Amino acid sequence: MPPLHRHQLAYLSAQGWAGVLAQPWDEQARECLAAWAGAGLPLVVTRQRTPRDSAAAPVWLGLCAPNEWSRRLLAIQVPLADIGWFSEFPQLADVIDELPRAAQRPLRETASALCRLGVRTRAYGSVGWQGVTGLAYLHERSDLDLWLAVDDAAQADAAADCLQRCAPARLRVDGELVFGDGGAVAWREWAAWRSGRTTALLVKRLGGVDIERSLGAPVPTMGSLAERIA
Distance of CA 157 to the CA centre of its chain: 19
Q: Which of 94, 143, 157, 174 is catalytic?
A: 143
Which residue is catalytic, options 53, 82, 145, 151?
145
Active site residue 181: no
The yes-or-no answer on residue 145 being catalytic is yes
| 7 Rama sector, left if φ>0, alpha if ψ -120 to 50, beta otherwise | left
Q: Torsions phi, psi of 6, nearest 5?
A: -60, 145
Nearest to 175 by CA among 147, 137, 207, 206: 147
One-letter-per-residue 3-state SS of 131-149: HHHCCCCCCCCCCEEEEEE
Which residues touch 61 (CB under 8 Å, ≥6 apart)?
Answer: 10, 43, 44, 45, 46, 75, 76, 77, 78
Q: Which residues are catalytic?
A: 143, 145
